């Protein structure tokens, strides 16, 4: 999954600074629906990660069935928290 393509798909722009609050909310709603329907583990993780970066990811336990996926998601969340503190 290409980040620019995902931004264009869900927010109608490739520039995150151009996403209005309304477009952000609507795009995240669409992402949540797609996340719930996605069966490919890699695509699910990518969607969830983008939602995490945008501040509205669903819980790890409700999103990932596999223990390995939950560990990877927790690691991603920890990395994001570490970056936010810098």
Alpha helices in the chain (DSSP H): 3-11, 21-37, 41-53, 60-63, 67-85
pTM (two decimals): 0.87
Range of weakest confidence among 3-12, 14-23, 74-83: 74-83
Q: How many CA atoms lie within 13 A of 70 on its CB side?
A: 9
Contact yes or no for 50/31 (Cβ under 8 A): yes
What are the tens digits of pLDDT across the range 25-84?
999 999 999 999 999 999 999 999 999 999 999 999 999 999 999 999 999 999 988 864
The per-residue pLDDT for 52 is 95
Domain region containing 15: 3-85
Q: How many domains does the chain have?
A: 1
C-alpha to C-alpha distances, 73 to 7, 12, 16, 37, nearest whole angstrom: 21, 27, 23, 18
- CA pair distance 45, 63, nearest whole angstrom: 9
């Amino acid at each position: 999954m290409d980040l620019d393509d995902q931004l264009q798909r869900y927010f109608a722009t490739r520039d995150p600074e151009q996403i209005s609050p309304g477009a952000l909310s609507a795009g995240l709603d669409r992402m949540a629906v797609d996340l719930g329907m996605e069966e490919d583990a890699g695509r699910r993780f990518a969607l969830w990660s983008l939602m995490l970066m945008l501040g509205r990811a669903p819980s790890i336990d409700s999103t990932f069935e596999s223990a390995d996926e939950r560990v990877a998601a927790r690691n991603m969340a920890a990395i994001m928290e570490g970056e936010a503190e810098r």
